[in-house]
Each structure stands twice: as C-alpha cells, then as structure tokens.
Amino acid sequence: MCATCGCGDTHHHHLGEDHTHHHGEKSIVEVEKDILYQNKLLAERNRGYFDAKNIFCINLVSSPGSGKTTILERTLTDLKGEISFSVIEGDQQTTNDADRIHATGTKVTQINTGKGCHLDAHMVLHALQGLKPPADSVLFIENVGNLVCPAMFDLGEKERVVIMSVTEGDDKPLKYPDMFHTSTVCIINKTDLLPYVNFNVEKAKEYALKVNHKLKIFEVSATTGHGMDEWYSWLRKHVQALQEA
C-alpha cells in the first residue's frame, strides 16, 4: 500500500462525499478532505519558484524499465555545456539512478519514497531547498516508475513527459489513460528492439493521440541515439522560448 495516497488499501473511500452515520436521532457527518488539496497548494508554490528563477521543469514519468534514466543520461551528456541541468531522482529505494546521473557531471539529489509509489510536491519542495538549481536552467524530475499514482500529483512542473518502450504493450495509453492525458509529450523508447518484439508503433501513436490529441510524440532509441535529435530540438526550442519570455 502506498503510504502517501493509500492506493492498494482494501477499504475504499470516495473523495468529496459526505458519510453520514445515524445513531438514534443523532447524525454524525464526516466530510472527507480532498487529499490532493495540500499537494496542489505546494505545487503552485514550486511553480512560482520555477517561474521566478526561470527554471524549465520537466516531470519524467513511466512504468519501471521504460528506459527513462538512460534517456536522461544521454540527454545530459549530449547537451552538456549547452544547457544547464539539475536532476531530482525519485525511487522507492537505492541511489542507483542518482549515481548514474552524478556520473554525467550533473547536480542531482535523491528522494527515496519508501512505501510511496510516487513523488509529491512536498518532497520536491524539500529537495529544491538542498539542490538549489541555478536560474535560467532545466530541472528534470525523474518520478518513481508507475503509470497510475504519479498522474494525480502535480509537482509544479512546466511539462510532463511520459515514456513508454517497445518492450511494453502498444495499448499502454488505453490502459493508463490518466497518465497520457495529463502529459504533454510522449517518448516511445527502445525502437532498436522493434525487429524482435511484437509492438506496433503506429497503433501506439494512434492510441496515445486518442487519449490526448495534443501529445507531441517522439520515437527514439536512447541506446543507439536514433531519434534523440528531435527530442533535443524540442527541448532547445522550449528553453529558448522560456529565456526570451
């Protein structure tokens, strides 16, 4: 069970409903508070911080094993010296991914969520206090591998990028629509493995656009570098626009 949002709990509550228990002539009304309310407030605080320092914040989300850390590693390495980066790494345990990012020469801080299955705005707020990303830079937040709960939690990011790989089903967008609906970019990774797996890229794109017709989609292989230039062009364009605003 997630210690933060309670997913996996066998006792289900419906948010926003009033639950009335009658005891004789006495009625006790229990009003459940929206568990996301506090998160929304802190996300706006984070967003204000990013706007004030002109930081382009990207929330990277995916299921486990999609290759988001590899995409991040390659991006940081290839664009080193061109764009100033910092990274917040989210995992339930270990600093393995943070160690990989640190090896690229990028400033990084690790958040271990324990039983939690996602990052929230409060965790990011505390991480920012130690990380202190520079003004006019890009901050990547690599979320915990999960296509369900992270969709509900705004971290204050400017863009949400969902990553899926060809080793997963091409119907991922239909099975996890909330994540694809709340994202602005979809990266289909590991295209170098297409000859060896049963994955239809066109169907995956069709399903993703059915859920969110505004999605920008990139087909890449972070291992070979195929398609990464298009992703870099998108990143450069948005960084430039932010700096000129």
**Beta bridge pairs of residue 27:** 22
Percentage of the chain exceeding pLDDT 70:
86
pLDDT digits (tens, 9 = 90+) for 18-53: 333 344 444 443 333 577 889 999 999 999 999 999
The yes-or-no verdict on residue 79 having pLDDT over 60 is yes
Distance CA 71, CA 38 (A): 32
* Residue bearing tokens 């705004």: 154
- Burial string for 120-159 (b: 16+ CB within 10 Å, else e) reads bbbbbbebbeebebeeebbbbbbbbbbbebbbbbbbbbbb
pLDDT digits (tens, 9 = 90+) for 126-144: 999 999 999 999 999 999 9
Mean pLDDT over 55-63 rounds to: 97
Which residue did the predictor score with more confidence, 101 or 22? 101
CA 5 to chain CA mean position, Å? 16
Mean pLDDT over 191-212 rounds to: 98
Selection from 139, 121, 152, 143 nearest residue 56 by Cα: 139
Report the amino acid identity of residue 117.
C
Sorted by where each starts, the structural domains of the chain and their CATH numbers stand as: 37-244 (3.40.50.300)
Do the Cβ atoms of 183 and 212 come closer than 8 Å? yes
Q: What is the DSSP letter of 7?
A: T
243 confidence band (pLDDT: 50, 70, 90): confident
pLDDT of residue 199: 98
Q: Is 118 helix (H, G, I), strand (E, B) or coil?
A: coil
Do the Cβ atoms of 62 and 151 come closer than 8 Å? no
Q: What is the mean pLDDT of the chain?
A: 89
The yes-or-no verdict on residue 63 having pLDDT over 50 is yes
Integer CA distances (angstroms), 160 to 104, 126, 215, in order: 23, 20, 10
